Amino acid sequence: MKKKILKIVGGLFLVMILLLVAAPFFLKGKIADIIKNKVNNSINATFDFSDADLSLFRSFPNATVTLDNITLINKAPFEGDTLFASERVSLDMSIKELFKDASEPIAIKSLVLDRPLINIKVDQEENANYDIAIDDSSSPDTAAETASSESSFTLSMESYAINNAVIKYDDLASGMSFAISEMNHSGRGDLSLENSELDTETSGLVSFEMDSTQYLNKNPVQLKALIGVDLKENKYSFLKNEAMVNQLALVFDGFVKLNEDNQEVNISFKTPSSDFKNFLAVIPEAYSKDIAQVTTTGNFTVAGVFKGIVDEDHIPQFKIDINSDNASFKYPDLPKTVRNVFIDTEISNNTGITEDTFVDIRKLSFMIDEDKFNMVAKINDLMGNTKVDAKIDGKMNLANISKAYPVPADLNLKGILIADIATAFDMASIENKEYENTRTTGNLKLSDFEYKSEEFPNPIILKSTSVTFNPTTVTLNNLQGATGKTDFDASGTIVNLLGFMFNNESIEGNFNLRSNTFAVNDFMVAETTEVGAGEDKGASTTSAEEKIKIPSFLDCTINATANTVIYDNLTLKDVKGTLVIRDEKAILYKMTSSIFDGKLALNGEVSTKAATPTFAMKLGMDGFKIAETFNALEMFRTLAPIAKILQGTLNSDIQVSGSLKDDFTPNLNTISGNILAELLTDKIDAESAPLLTELDSKLNFLDLDKLNLKDLKTVLNFEDGVVKVKPFTLKYQDFAINVAGSHTFDQKLNYAATIEVPAKYLGKDINNIIARIDEKSLENLTIPITANIGGGYTSPTVTTDLTSGIKNLTAQLVEIEKQKLINKGKDKAKNFIGDLIAKNQKATDSAKKENQVKTQDVIGGLLGAATKKTDSTTKTDTATTAKKESQKEVAKKILGGLLGKKKETSETKKDSVQ
């Protein structure tokens, strides 16, 4: 019997185990549907999760429901924004809750949120993205259904936890932004009771910004609070509480009561001690360091109270007092003491109206050695049209700051600051650019100031600085300084300093700048950007890329004069002109300079507004030394590589535009423009140019030392990596060389040189052959030669076109021979007839008639003979034509000697010319 009972019990236990194992598979879908339907039917947003899991063993006898990748996505007017998200939400509840009908309330005992994100937004029209409840008050049935829906979840928790949360609040209407990151919060207590105690712990990093001013930046906050919960009165009392803001400890008590239309607040807080170390604790730990080792005297206290009603129109009235009386502190590893510290500040709101919040700094002063700093200020209407009335005066040796306080290592200041400035303004006037309603007066002087930063390669030293603050402008009376190789002396006027400081406007001004030596690289500020992020987080890579940027906040005109300007490897002398910086552009007007022993006129602009910097320039070059210009400027070497072998000067007008590389040098693959160049030279270094050496070997008659380049003018157009040269003519003694073509930026050549070579340059032996035909015709005989130039500049190829030369020479020789034979026959006939007529005139009168008859007969015979001679000449022409092939051979021999023989000596050339 006993065994039977054990078997029955064992069987029932096994059935229960099987039911516990199988139940999640039957209930999982039901729970997911219930949660999604109930939530989505009650909100104007989309609630979803990727998976729902049910476990009956993890917290038995309770069941654990887990939802993965929860999202709550807004609808219009915040379409697509994420209001809430969490990697995982776990809920513990009694197993019996799983078997309730969907209309019955479900009690949750514990809740855990992992990595939740709460993203609250309020737009300019004061619409809030958390206002997602469906307005169902118009329908009684819907209201009843909603009431039933709201009762479907009962808050009966014993514990809850929020792990690694991020909470964001961004209010565009008020210009306020609040964020908590790395937040962890937990609470324990039985909230099912009418009266209970909730033990909580909270930690996180708090950031707070208002009107573009950041008051807190990831400041650490910790809170341990024992909260009394009265669910009947909806009242939450602070029973035992301690908070840490940075390193400042605060204790507080009071209560918050939630009414139907508002909330009642009555909370007071204070520092638990009056030690002056409390002041250092307010400062972030990164700057205040280890305050436990600091020696202090005097006191520092913070005390405040919040009391009143919170509703749509009111905040609690509050008063916060911050006080210190004749205090001092000294860090153990620093030589100087900060003493005579007085602080008397009040932050208050006496009406509960947000705009009536004010700050009154009645006194703020301290001393280091005998230097003293003082400040008083009143800031009214803090949350509305903020009004500021402040005064600062004092003298400070800036080097003593780092000797008394642990400033960042890279902030190594030096110099004497003397200030006496008063200002009064309201934010509405600044936002509306009504700067005439502001008032700032006083003086500021800074001498022997030295500033070091990683952004600049060398320290900036201000020897003397004097600034006068006027009601609407700031006058820079004097600014003398140096950095690296650069010295500068500036003066001018700043128009809208307040607009720059408070309204994110550009600095407008006009300045005069004088310098003996100005090195541009001393002011090159590098902007570091992250590039190369991949889509796959596991394989993504980033790299730092430095780019030079023209500051976007500058809108100024600078009239500059400098004896020497150094840019990269260039040295410019006697620089004068106007520089306008605006909209991330640097615009040059009427800039003149001396460089390469010539004069430079420059107009143009450089822009860094786009991702790739661009430039467009017009340059006028007068009397530049050619060799120095082309050796120093890569762009010129690319556009005209052969010019570097020229010796002399250059005049040129250049228009060029394109992109800049990160170091502000031209990207040659992007430039386009044109050049009008005039060479003033008569010397050439042919041995340094492979192209000319190759030409010299192919054209034996050409002595490159005798090329006349004086007053040569040419036009170059360049675009898409190709330089096109318009046809131009080179002079060589008494004939011309016509050149045209193009080359690429990587120095691939495509040129043609056409030359009409006079016969007298063909050499002594060849000239003797031609002289046999007609010595006088030699003077006008020319041979056209075309030299085609290809290959690369350092490895050129030169080919010659002989076809036109042979044809031209043959035609000229045939014509000369033909005319020679015709003219010879006509001259003999004419001389013979003349002799006969002269003899007949001496005859006697008696024999005249007879002789005339005879003469006529003779003349007739002679004319017949002449006709026969002409026929004979015609036959000679035929013979000449027959000899054409042999004359071609002569021409080939001539051209072969011209183009194929070894280079003649200069003496041989001289003899041939003679």
User: 747-769: per-residue pLDDT in tens?
Assistant: 888 988 888 877 677 666 556 65
> What mean pLDDT comes out for the span 227-237?
89
Among 659, 684, 709, which residue terminates a domain?
684
Boundary of a domain, candidates 661, 684, 707 = 684
Buried/exposed 842-853: b ≥16 CB within 10 Å, e otherwise: eeeeeeeeebee
Could you tell me the residue range of the domain that residue 643 belongs to? 506-529+544-684
Amino acid at residue number 241 = N
Does 799 share its domain with 891?
yes
- Give the per-residue pLDDT at 505: 78
Which residues is 265 bridged to in the sheet? 256, 308
On whether both 802 and 906 belong to a single domain, the answer is yes
Vertex 720: Cα angle to 718 and 724 (nearest 5): 30
CA 287-292-293 angle, to 5 degrees, is 90
Q: Which of 67-71, 201-205, 347-351 has the lowest mean pLDDT?
A: 67-71
pLDDT tens sequence across 154-184: 556 778 899 999 999 998 877 788 899 999 9
3-state SS, residue 728: strand
pLDDT tens digits, one per residue of 698-729: 777 777 667 767 777 888 898 888 888 888 88
Residue 328 located in a structural domain: no
In a domain, 7, yes or no: no
Contact 757, 732 (CB under 8 A): no
Query: With 90 as the cut, is the pLDDT of residue 392 above it?
Result: yes
pLDDT band of 109, cuts 50, 70, 90: confident
Residue 676 has pLDDT above 70, yes or no: yes
- Is residue 9's pLDDT more than 60? no
**pLDDT of 218-227, one tens digit each?**
888 898 989 9
The amino acid present at 376, given as its one-letter code, is V
pLDDT of 681 reads 67
User: Are 675 and 779 in a shared domain?
Assistant: no
Helix (H) or strand (E) holding 489: strand 486-494
Domain boundary among 614, 649, 684: 684
Tens-place pLDDT, residues 350-387 = 999 888 999 999 999 999 998 999 999 999 988 788 89
Check whether 866 has a pLDDT greater than 50.
no
Q: Is residue 356 part of a domain?
A: no
Residue 763 DSSP SS3: coil
* Alpha helices by DSSP H, 566-644: 626-632, 634-639
Q: Are residues 672 and 562 in the same domain?
A: yes
Residue 89 has pLDDT above 80, yes or no: yes
Reading the block at residue 249, the tokens are 């400890």
Residues 676 and 814 occupy one common structural domain: no
Q: What are 726-753's pLDDT values in tens digits?
A: 888 877 777 788 888 988 888 888 988 8
Report the 10 Å Cβ neighbour count for 182: 12
Q: Are residues 786 and 885 in the same domain?
A: yes
- Give the whole-angstrom CA distance, residue 18 versus residue 41: 35
Q: Predicted confidence band at 879 (pLDDT cuts at 50, 70, 90)?
A: very low
Q: Is residue 690 part of a domain?
A: no
Closest CA to 442 of 504, 497, 387, 372: 497
- 654 and 784 assigned to the same domain: no
- The answer to whether residue 202 sits within a structural domain is no
- 669 with 800, same domain: the answer is no
Residue 701 domain-assigned (yes or no): no
Residues 669 and 520 in one domain: yes
pLDDT confidence tier of residue 546, bands split at 50, 70 and 90: low
The CA–CA distances, whole Å, from 631 to 146, 634, 643 equal: 85, 7, 10
Residue 163 lies in a domain: yes
Name the residue among 537, 513, 522 with its Cα closest to residue 568.
Answer: 522
Q: What is the 3-state secondary structure (H, E, C) of 858-879?
A: HHHHHHHHHHHHHHHHHHHHHH
Q: Are residues 670 and 781 in the same domain?
A: no
**Residues present in the chain in total:** 914
> Do both 679 and 778 map to the same domain?
no
Alpha carbon 509 to its chain's center: 24
- Report if residue 588 sits inside a domain: yes
pLDDT of 60 reads: 64
d(CA 617, CA 577): 15
| Distance from the Cα of residue 642 to its chain's centroid | 36
Average of per-residue pLDDT values in the chain: 77
pLDDT at 6: 45
Closest CA to 840 of 860, 856, 818: 856
Report the 10 Å Cβ neighbour count for 590.
Answer: 10
How many domains does the chain contain in total? Answer: 3
Residues 678 and 805 in one domain: no
Phi, psi angles (nearest 5°) of residue 504: 55, 40
